[in-house]
Each structure stands twice: as structure tokens, then as C-alpha cells.
């Protein structure tokens, strides 16, 4: 028994030593002071020192800042800050200086905002392209403190710099749509209705449902939730994503049903008007294509049944994403399945392959915005100068946007015309 106790104590000491070696000292480091205004009477503590990932060998840090600024200037810039100053004024020291703590705010983003207030425009990310995380954090704070109007000189440039995060991108299995989710917030704050709509539609196209009914991306992360934080998003965004997703799925299942029951003569309701094959749809033996369509119908239904898509389920009951359905129809056993369409003369003709039809449905699904969202986007665009979208190479605002309409409205000058595609 005594030996077992000694061995247990040794094991505990080894684990404690390993833990002490792996413990990161970063959170306890002193916070340096960055002087923006040498005469400033206000010290604002922004953010916190913390480790962002539990894995010690590769984890990243977040740094807090203590910024020295002029309280009066800050109070004049934002009513929110004026209220904070009024509350903290009671706690100022004998020299008339006071400290404010906002640990939930992002320190580099706050520094950028103060650089704008002090006209220090040579400081990054001002005057240069910013990355998506920087812009996301900046827009979180400008929306929180009602300072979005300060971004007007850079809004147009930043919209263009965000293209690399969405234009032509696809998201395969295991990839997250975090960038798209951040862009929903960014374009919401900047007031860019076409690109806000595009990001909502893109997230909808890649969203499936988990067993609890939550929207999840291809990496199985819940929408607007990462391992490090919950992303800010407009109050109507989640409903808009769900609506767009169901709209895509409903159009896909409707096209499946009409293809089987109408174009391929597979309906069990003989009272329905059947498609009349085109006279040009003849085989080499001069027979019509009824037999061919019957064979196509058999193969189509067999594939659909294997994917649990026949009988066609209600769109609300489909857990897969629209993009996952597109991938299903691109499989070797289904990629050649035909689509059909009615010609102007009323005849029924082949219309390419069915997976191309699904891709077109996803591209052309439109997002109708609720009036409160449209009003917000208009107000934000007036602040940032983006209310005339053609300045940015976009057509004037439409009632509703599809991904195809947004991208086809892009003015991709300078030899970039080849990128005028939606990657669906």
C-alpha cells in the first residue's frame, strides 16, 4: 500500500511538472501603454491578454492595449463614449485622468478607430488593403459605437479588397464558411446590399442541418459559431439564410418532380397533360424518343431512390445542403442524367444535363429582404458613400438579388473578365 501511494504521488508530481511547463505566461504579462495623444487625460484598456487555442504547441495570442487619448475628443465622436465618460468621470484621479476598461473589444481595431479620429491615416490598415479579420473587428466596433461614418474614405477600397475572400471560391467537404459569415456582417455594416445578399445566398447554398436542426457548414460548425468566438450577425440574417436554403431546395425538388412526372412521362395521374416530344427528337430508326425517355426515367428514379430523393421529400425535411445535392448529381452514375425544357412551340426538348439545371437554380435563387433590412442597408450606405453601387462597379440596387445577378453586374475591368462567374 505504501509503495502504491509513493508511485501515485510521483505520477501526480510528473503531471504537475508537465502542466507547469505547458502553461502559457502570456495572460499575466503587463499591458503596455500606447500613447496616441501625449496630452490625453483618458486611458482606455482594450481587450485582454489571452491564449486563443488550448494546444500549447501551436496556439495564438490576443494582446490587450492601454491607449492614452483625449477624453473630450472621444466623447464628441460618439454618444456611446460620451455616456461612458460621464460614468467614469466620478472615478477620475486627482490629476483629472481616468481609466476605462472595455475587455470585450478588439484592441487593434480600437487603435485603428483612434488613428482615424486623430487623422493618422498613414497607419495600417488605413491606406492599404486590409484582411478580413481586421475589417470584421473594425466594423464590429464602428457599429457598436455608432462610428461607421468614419469609414467613408476607405469603404470603397475595402469592398474591393474583400473580393479575394469570396469571388470564385468554393467550399468543399471539411471547409468552413467563416469568411462568408464574416462578410455578411461586414457588408451589413458598410451598407452594400448586393454583396450582403450574395453572402447570405452563398452561406445558404453550403448549409446543411445537424440532428438538432441547426445550420452547419461543410466543416460541421454551426453557422456564426467558431471554436474561438461567436460571429456578430444581423438579427434577420439567420432567417434569411434559412429562407434562401429552403427556396433552393424547393426549386430543385420541383424540377426533379416535373422532370419525372411530366417530361419523362412518369406521372401516375393520366389526367395530366403530358409533354409532346419534339418532331426532331427521332432515333436513327425514325421512332420517337418515348422508349429513350422511359429508359432515362428508370435510371433517374433509381438514382433518386438511392439518394432518398424519390418520392421527392419536402424541402424542409432535407438535411443536405443545396451544394451537396449538386455534388450528388455530378457523381459518375448521375452526371449524364438529362434535363428538359418546353420550347416556344410547346414541344419538349432536352436541355442539357440535370446537374447543370441544379447549379443554375442555386445561382438564380433570389433573396427578398425584409423592409427593415433594406432600410438599414440604405442608411449604412449613406454613411459609407456606397449608396451608389455603380461607383463600385455594381448596378443600382434591385428589389432582390441572386448570386448570378450580383456577379454579372460586376465591372471586372483590367483583364479580370474571366472571373465573371459564380463558382457553383
For residue 143, report the phi and psi dihedrals to the nearest 5 degrees: -70, -40
Identify the pLDDT of residue 413: 37
Q: For a pLDDT cut of 90, what percent of the chain falls above it?
A: 55
Average pLDDT over residues 123-151: 90
> Residue 106: is its pLDDT beyond 60?
yes
Question: Which residue is associated with the grid cell 442541418?
Answer: 209
Identify the pLDDT of residue 217: 97
Q: How far is CA 154 from CA 160, 270, 411, in A?
A: 10, 63, 19
CA distance 201 to 400: 11
Is 349 in contact with 281 (CB distance < 8 Å)? Answer: yes
CA distance 361 to 252: 7
Identify the pLDDT of residue 188: 97
Report CA 184 to chain centroid distance, whole Å: 5
Query: What is the pTM for the complete model shown?
Result: 0.84
Mean pLDDT of the chain: 82
For residue 336, report the phi and psi dihedrals to the nearest 5 degrees: -95, 0
Is 71 in contact with 98 (CB distance < 8 Å)? Answer: yes
| β-pair partners for 68 | 35, 43
Identify the pLDDT of residue 17: 40
Sign of the CA dihedral with 379 first, then 384, 387, and 392 last: negative
Average pLDDT over residues 40-54: 83
Amino acid at each position: 500500500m505504501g509503495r502504491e501511494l509513493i508511485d501515485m504521488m510521483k505520477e501526480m508530481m510528473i503531471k504537475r511538472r508537465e502542466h507547469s511547463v505547458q502553461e502559457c505566461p502570456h495572460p499575466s504579462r503587463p499591458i503596455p501603454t500606447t500613447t496616441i495623444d501625449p496630452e490625453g487625460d483618458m486611458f482606455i484598456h482594450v481587450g485582454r491578454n489571452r491564449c486563443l487555442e488550448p494546444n500549447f504547441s501551436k496556439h495564438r495570442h490576443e494582446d490587450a492595449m492601454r491607449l492614452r487619448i483625449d477624453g473630450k475628443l472621444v466623447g464628441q465622436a460618439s454618444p456611446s463614449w460620451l455616456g461612458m465618460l460621464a460614468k467614469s468621470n466620478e472615478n477620475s484621479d486627482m490629476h483629472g485622468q481616468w481609466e476605462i476598461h472595455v475587455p470585450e473589444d478588439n484592441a487593434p481595431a480600437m487603435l485603428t478607430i483612434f488613428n482615424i479620429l486623430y487623422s493618422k491615416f498613414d497607419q495600417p490598415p488605413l491606406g492599404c488593403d486590409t484582411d478580413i479579420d481586421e475589417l470584421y473587428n473594425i466594423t464590429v466596433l464602428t457599429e457598436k459605437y455608432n462610428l461607421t461614418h468614419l469609414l467613408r474614405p476607405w469603404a470603397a477600397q475595402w469592398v474591393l479588397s474583400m473580393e479575394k475572400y469570396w469571388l470564385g471560391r468554393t467550399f468543399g467537404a471539411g471547409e468552413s464558411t467563416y469568411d462568408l459569415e464574416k462578410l455578411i456582417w461586414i457588408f451589413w455594416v458598410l451598407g452594400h446590399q448586393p454583396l450582403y445578399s450574395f453572402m447570405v445566398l452563398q452561406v445558404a447554398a453550403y448549409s446543411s442541418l445537424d440532428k438538432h436542426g441547426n445550420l452547419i457548414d461543410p466543416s460541421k460548425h454551426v453557422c456564426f459559431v467558431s471554436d474561438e468566438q461567436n460571429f456578430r450577425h444581423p438579427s434577420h440574417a439567420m432567417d434569411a439564410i434559412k429562407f434562401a436554403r429552403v427556396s433552393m431546395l424547393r426549386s430543385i425538388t420541383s424540377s426533379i418532380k416535373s422532370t419525372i412526372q411530366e417530361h419523362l412521362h412518369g406521372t401516375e395521374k393520366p389526367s395530366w397533360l403530358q409533354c409532346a416530344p419534339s418532331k426532331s427528337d427521332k432515333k436513327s430508326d425514325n421512332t420517337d424518343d418515348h422508349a429513350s425517355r422511359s429508359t432515362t426515367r428508370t435510371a433517374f428514379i433509381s438514382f433518386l431512390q438511392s439518394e432518398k430523393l424519390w418520392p421527392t421529400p419536402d424541402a424542409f425535411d432535407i438535411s443536405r445542403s443545396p451544394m451537396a445535392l449538386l455534388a450528388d448529381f455530378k457523381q459518375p452514375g448521375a452526371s449524364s442524367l438529362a434535363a428538359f425544357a418546353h420550347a416556344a412551340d410547346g414541344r419538349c426538348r432536352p436541355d442539357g444535363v440535370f446537374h447543370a439545371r441544379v447549379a443554375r437554380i442555386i445561382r438564380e435563387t433570389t433573396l427578398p429582404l425584409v423592409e427593415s433590412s433594406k432600410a438599414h442597408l440604405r442608411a449604412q450606405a449613406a454613411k459609407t458613400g456606397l449608396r451608389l453601387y455603380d461607383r463600385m462597379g455594381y448596378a443600382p440596387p434591385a428589389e432582390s438579388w441572386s448570386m448570378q445577378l450580383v456577379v454579372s453586374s460586376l465591372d471586372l475591368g483590367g483583364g479580370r473578365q474571366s472571373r465573371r462567374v459564380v463558382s457553383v
